[in-house]
Homo-oligomer: A and B are copies of this chain.
């Protein structure tokens, strides 16, 4: 009997179960630099301590999606090491900002399990929560993942299906207390567009494309300590479904977010991840393009300096987005459909 852990299978998950994930993680300026090099993002809040101070932060906070990846990564050994597919997200709410030196600790609550009709796999739904060293919420989100059964003949408990909201409404978003966009400098941020300039239904092609290398996505995924073998092992994956290593879906989210700077430069902070689907797999050699549709524009209660936009960003592979693939229905090049909420300065 080996001490190595083979990870949980479908039958190991029970609704109500709480799982404390190993490997607490201190986030540092080293992680920040690597994240910059992996995606090339240009949002000013994440790049400049001076800019961050002008908005009321003590220094640049850790990029919200880097926080997401770090928290996601910690959950992988316990939740999705035997996953077939990562199906989607909901109710992602960012809490207090995370700063270099903060340490994140992560736990997940099993919300529901549902066997698939093929009896080979099932869907597990968890809420994963990351907190800092003071126990404050950094991020909480729901994830659905399709997990293999250890034994196809196992008869699972009755289906428990959690109900989730389509999006986090504006009055439940967490705006950091000291944040003040009154002196937001759009020239430094790189965009002349304020919250008022975006209209629901508006579409923005982010123009540029970024080609993925094996080294890039593996460096990223190891940095997040996401150890799902499909991303790293060409020897086994070469004999698998795709014949290749699979790119971690979150890598696409960060790529599209970085590309979205062109058109959304003032959207310096994420407040929520309303939903997301990895529509199709990506591989090294794929070039990723992106576009965004504005879904809603919301006031933030009690604030005249900021407003929120609910956005839906789409990523397509090997397909420029000037024709907005996936806008009306599925498109063969589509790889990501990501629904999230961002903070922008309001024009006074």
Judge whether A223 is part of the interface by a CB distance below 8 angstroms.
Answer: yes
Let me know if A232 and B216 touch, CB within 8 A.
no
Let me know if A2 and B204 touch, CB within 8 A.
yes
Let me know if B24 and A44 touch, CB within 8 A.
yes
Minimal beta-carbon separation of A30 from chain B (angstroms)? 3
Let me know if B37 and A223 touch, CB within 8 A.
yes
Let me know if A205 and B37 touch, CB within 8 A.
no
Q: How many Å lie between the Cα of A220 and that of B29 in the bound state?
A: 17
Let me know if A204 and B3 touch, CB within 8 A.
yes
Residue among A6, A23, A34, A245 having the largest count of chain B Cβ atoms under 10 Å? A23
Q: Which of A48-56, A91-99, A174-182 faces chain B?
A: A48-56
Give the bracket for the number of chain A residues in contact with chain B. 35 or more
Judge whether A296 is part of the interface by a CB distance below 8 angstroms.
Answer: no
Across-interface contacts of A232 in B (CB, < 8 A): 40, 208-211
Let me know if A25 and B48 touch, CB within 8 A.
yes
Let me know if A209 and B235 touch, CB within 8 A.
yes
Q: Which residue of B lies closest to A232 (CB)?
A: B210
Let me know if A47 and B60 touch, CB within 8 A.
no
Minimal beta-carbon separation of A333 from chain B (angstroms)? 11
Q: Which residue of B lies closest to A103 (CB)?
A: B50
Minimal beta-carbon separation of A263 from chain B (angstroms)? 4
Chain A 189-219 residues near chain B, CB threshold 8 A: 189-191, 193, 197-198, 203-211, 213-216, 218-219
Let me know if A262 and B4 touch, CB within 8 A.
yes
Let me know if B225 and A42 touch, CB within 8 A.
yes
Let me know if B42 and A22 touch, CB within 8 A.
yes
Chain A 36-66 residues near chain B, CB threshold 8 A: 36-40, 42-44, 47-51, 60
Q: Which residue of B lies closest to A233 (CB)?
A: B209
Interface residues of A (CB under 8 A from B): 2-6, 20, 22-26, 28-34, 36-40, 42-44, 47-51, 60, 77, 101, 103, 105, 133, 187-191, 193, 197-198, 203-211, 213-216, 218-223, 225, 227, 229, 232-236, 245, 262-265, 285, 287, 318, 320
